[in-house]
Amino acid sequence: MNATALPAVIRMKDLTKVFATDEVETHALSNVSLDIARGEYVSIGGPSGCGKSTLLSILGLLDSPTGGAYELNNRPVSELPASERARVRNREIGFIFQSFNLIGDLTVFENVELPLTYRGMRPADRRQRVTDALERVGMAHRAKHLPSQLSGGQQQRVAVARAVAGEPVILLADEPTGNLDSKSGEAVMELLHELHRAGATICMVTHDPRYARHAQRNIHLFDGRIVDEPEEERQWADADLPS
Amino acid sequence: MLISLRDLERTYPQGVARSYVLRRINVDIKEGEFVSIMGPSGAGKSTLLHILGMHDAAWSGEYFFQDQPVHKMSAKQRSELHKRHIGFVFQSYHLLDNLTVYENLEIPLSYRDVGRKERQSIVAETLDRFQIVAKKDLYPSQLSGGQQQLVGVARAVIAHPQILLADEPTGNLHSEQGKEIMELFRKLNDAGTTIVQVTHSDVNAAYGSRIIHLRDGWVVDD
């Protein structure tokens, strides 16, 4: 077994996800195989209903696959019990959501601190990590503010700080610019780009090809499968046609 | 008296002048009341609620919380008071999508010195009380809006705050789900929780015992 020598952070092999509702089986994902190497910046795109959110939920250990194998950081995770999955998720994965997902009555500092509190990290270490993370995203001067006192772009920067504060092995971003105007969206993209240059592994779901261009590798899903991408299909996907 | 406001005012700079959002507010709220703040958009309802919740400190006048002068407190003291005594429910729930229902409920407890064992028992008791035990390992995205807000309310009251503040708590819900949340507020209030909600809905306001009407920053009817 020399698997540990390989630099893959994510290894997915023949992953499937089937939803069963009223005698109808929906194959949200069919035999998806995907490796993401340490330090890579990957985008996942495709039309609505193509399975990209399902794939991201499985990547982020928010959901489990129906079949196939998933190794995160050289460790099989598809069959972990819920409590263990939650622990791995908290330590290994940093999430960035479209809607920022900050808690309105906690300050910027407390929002960033929250995932660290769950690990039982000592207060002094926590403070240091939070301060460092806020400095990385240029929001240290806003540590005591509440989310409602910030613009959308600034809130997303705080959410990025929260995601990186725990030093996860991978950052998962779900349409991180979806609620932002194009200028703030570009600023958040620039921030992800900087984090990538500094060594972060990033996997971003976006249906916007302008933002996908920031990634090194673009993966396209169509009807739950990874597809190659000839030019005409790209235009198809961009139009976001109902499937 | 739980809350007393004396000549409270909130202004924003507007060029060289100042524009008033709240004007000479004098309001007392007793323990056990269920108050609705109503009025047209821009009347200052949410501003008032966020001042009560100690999210906003840029006001003038006097605010006493259980006879303690909030207007004389440092930011740190205010924040302590907020964490210990106030539960807040948001229109858009403010649950964390990457945490389970169980973990979302734990959040307010992680900010107090509650030991692990005790935390577990408080969360378990709350899951029971709100009848969401079966949902404890689910994520917010796996719940309906009404269920998410149920978790939002459970989280707001899990640490037994003196007062529950709610900003349009049913604003994102269907009327049936909204009704369930209001029934829940009524039960919490019957059990002794003081509630102040901002609402546009006469139906929601009818669950409360008192309505404060704001217009252009003034209390016009109480």
Judged against a pLDDT cut of 90, whether residue B8 lies above it is answered with yes
Q: Confidence class of residue A84 from pLDDT cuts 50, 70 and 90?
A: confident
Structure ipTM over 0.90, yes or no: no
- Give the lowest-confidence range in A3-12, B141-150, B156-165: A3-12
In chain B, residues with a C-beta closer than 8 Å to the C-beta of A57 are 141
Q: Output the pLDDT for position A233.
A: 45
User: What pLDDT does A230 receive?
Assistant: 47
Could you give the 3-state DSSP secondary structure of residue A47? coil
Vertex A112, ends A108 and A114: CA angle to 5°?
115
Pairing status of strand B86-89 against strand B163-167: parallel
B151 contact residues in A (CB cutoff 8 A): none
Q: Does position B75 have pLDDT exceeding 50, yes or no?
A: yes
For A145-162, how does the pLDDT look when each residue is reduced to its tens digit (9 = 90+)?
Answer: 999 899 999 999 999 999
Asked if pLDDT for residue A20 goes beyond 90, the answer is no
At residue B113, the pLDDT reads 74
B59 or B112: whose pLDDT is higher? B59
pLDDT of residue A173 exceeding 70, the answer is: yes
Calpha distance B216→A92 (Å, rounded) = 50
Cα B219 to the center of its chain, rounded Å: 20
Q: Name residue, tokens 């290894």.
A: A11
Question: In whole numbers, what is the pLDDT of chain B averaged over residues?
Answer: 93
> If DSSP codes are grouped into helix, strand and coil, which group holds residue B31?
coil
In chain A, residues with a C-beta closer than 8 Å to the C-beta of B103 are: 86, 118
- Provide φ and ψ at B76, rounded to 5°: -65, -45
Q: From chain B, pick out residues whose CB is under 8 angstroms from the CB of A104.
A: 55, 88, 90, 94
Question: pLDDT at position A78, please?
Answer: 84
Quick check: A237 pLDDT over 80? Answer: no
pLDDT of B210: 96
Mean of pLDDT values over A224-238? 61
Confidence of residue A118 (pLDDT cuts 50, 70, 90): confident
Residue A174's pLDDT band, with cuts at 50, 70 and 90, is very high
**pLDDT tens for residues B152-209?**
999 999 999 999 999 999 999 999 999 999 999 999 999 999 999 999 999 999 999 9
Q: Is the pLDDT of residue A2 over 60?
A: no
Nearest-neighbour CA in chain A from B95: distance (Å): 7
pLDDT at A221: 93
Q: What type of residue sits at position A222?
A: F
Of B50, B79, B98, the CB nearest to A60: B98
Question: What mean pLDDT comes out for the span A202-214?
Answer: 90
What does the alpha-carbon distance between residue A105 and residue B94 come to, in Å, rounded to a whole number?
A: 9
The DSSP result for B72-141, as a single string, is G--HHHHHHHHHHHEEEE-TT----TTS-HHHHHHHHHHTTT--HHHHHHHHHHHHHHTT-GGGTT--GG
Please indicate whether residue A113 or residue A21 has the higher confidence score (pLDDT).
Answer: A113
**Residues B222, B219: Cα–Cα separation, whole Å:** 7
Which of these, B164, B175, B203, B166, lies nearest to B45 by C-alpha position? B166
Q: Which pLDDT score, from 0 to 100, does residue A210 have? A: 86
Which residue stretches of A31-181 are H helix? 52-59, 82-92, 108-118, 123-136, 152-165
And the tokens for B41? Answer: 């958009």
Contact criterion met (CB < 8 Å) for A105 and B75: no
Average pLDDT estimate for A31-55: 92
Task: Spell B125-158 as b/e; 16+ CB within 10 A means b.
Answer: ebbeebebeebbebbbeebebbbbbbbbbbbbbb
Contacts of B100 (CB under 8 A, 6+ apart): A82, A86, B136, B137, B138, B139
Distance separating alpha carbons of residues A52 and A204, to the nearest angstrom: 10
Q: Which pLDDT score is estimated for B115?
A: 83
Residues in chain B: 222
Task: Give B214 to chain A, closest Cα distance, Å.
Answer: 22
Share of chain B above pLDDT 70, in %: 100
Sort out which chain A residues have CB atoms less than 8 A from B82's CB and list them: 105
- Listed in sequence order, the residues at least 6 apart from A122 whose beta carbon sits closer than 8 Å to its beta carbon are none
pLDDT of the residue at A229: 59
Predicted local confidence at residue A87, as pLDDT: 87
Residue A239 has pLDDT above 60, yes or no: no
Q: Which residues pair with A94 in a beta bridge?
A: A171
Å between A231 CA and nearest CA of chain B: 34
| Mean pLDDT value across chain A | 88
Q: What is the pLDDT of residue A19?
A: 87
What is the nearest CA distance from A83 to chain B, expressed in angstroms?
Answer: 9
Q: pLDDT grade, residue A202 (50/70/90)?
A: very high
Confidence of residue A236 (pLDDT cuts 50, 70, 90): very low
Name the band, by pLDDT with cuts 50, 70 and 90, for residue A205: very high
Q: Find the mean pLDDT for residues B46-51.
A: 94
Task: Report pLDDT for A241.
Answer: 46
CA B33 to chain CA centroid, nearest Å: 13
